[in-house]
Amino acid sequence: MIISPKYDGSFKELFGNETVRRYFNGDILGIRQEEIHSVCLRNTFLRKVRRRHKFGILDVLVELNSGKKINIELQVKTVRNWDKRQLFYLCKLYTEDILSGEDYGRLKQCVGISILDFNLTNRKEYHSVYCLKDDEGNMFSDMLETHIIELKKELTGQGEVDNWIRFFNAETEEDLKMIKARTENPGILEAIRGLRRMSMNNPLRLRYEAYLKRVRDEKAREGYVWDQGQAKGREEGKIEGEKLMAALTERLLADNRVEDAKLAARDEKVRERLYREYGIER
């Protein structure tokens, strides 16, 4: 077993490596390596302007020499309002460097790269790019851009983006060997070496195993709660059904419909028809 690249600790340590950062950003954003002079990590906490404002906490925040800011985020679990959350972080990143009265020319292009371990859309595309355009595709501004990478979808290509997805989905040493045989990309090869180092006995490996135990325990608790809820729901449904049947039987007998009452007791379709006839709501 290897440490999963999707584990928060290993993800951040991998992107602490400049070679991994450089080639990942170049491959995802379509930037040639000679155009990337440096990719420095920045503080991943976005400042608050006012006391009541939310702090922004980013997974990995990279800045190119050009000033372009790139937020790389890994999201393993589906979360409510994820799209609004993504826009919140991207807009906060866009406005954080400008103070009251300063020129808007100080604002830098901001790009969000979200690696999702769940399907956000039903489309087959696993790398989607969103930016500000009109209905005919004419660009309004390139200052905000979002890349969505969906790890659960079937790969149809052989490019480096596909190989990065294969790397993030790797679970075993055999997976890493397969990926290494597919590519000569220095960033992916460095990421493989880094993951192998982390998978040896060290404090990160121990934290990862503790993390897996928490995940298993949480799933066990959720399963128990679900089972208890299902059992309670069945019992409540049975009691409610008995009450409805008693009300229907009383109405039928009052109308001297003894045979219908007997049929209703045996046949669910008859019961449903009679419920509608008498206006008894389930």
pLDDT tens, position by position, 208-238: 566 556 656 676 666 655 556 666 666 666 7
Residue 99 lies in a domain: yes
Q: Is residue 99 located within the same domain as residue 227?
A: no
Is the model more confident about 58 or about 262? 262
Residue 2 lies in a domain: no
For residue 197 the two structure tokens come to 């180092």
pLDDT greater than 50 at residue 40: yes
Residue 68 lies in a domain: yes
Give the model's confidence band at 263: pLDDT under 50 very low, under 70 low, under 90 confident, else very high. Answer: confident
Q: Is residue 158 located within the same domain as residue 102?
A: yes
Among residues 166, 200, 234, which one ends one of the domains? 200
Among residues 172, 200, 228, which one ends one of the domains? 200
User: 229, 242, 149, 187: which is closest to 19 by C-alpha?
Assistant: 187
Residue 247 lies in a domain: yes
Residue 248 belongs to domain spanning: 220-278
Determine the average pLDDT of the residues in 172-198: 92
Residue 131 lies in a domain: yes
Residue 1 lies in a domain: no
Among residues 138, 169, 200, which one ends one of the domains? 200
> By three-state DSSP, how is residue 261 classified?
helix
- Counted domains in the chain: 2
Give the model's confidence band at 160: pLDDT under 50 very low, under 70 low, under 90 confident, else very high. Answer: very high
Residue 60 lies in a domain: yes
Query: DSSP assignment, residue 46?
Result: E
Is the model more confident about 82 or about 236? 82
Residue 205 lies in a domain: no
Is the model more confident about 228 or about 17? 17
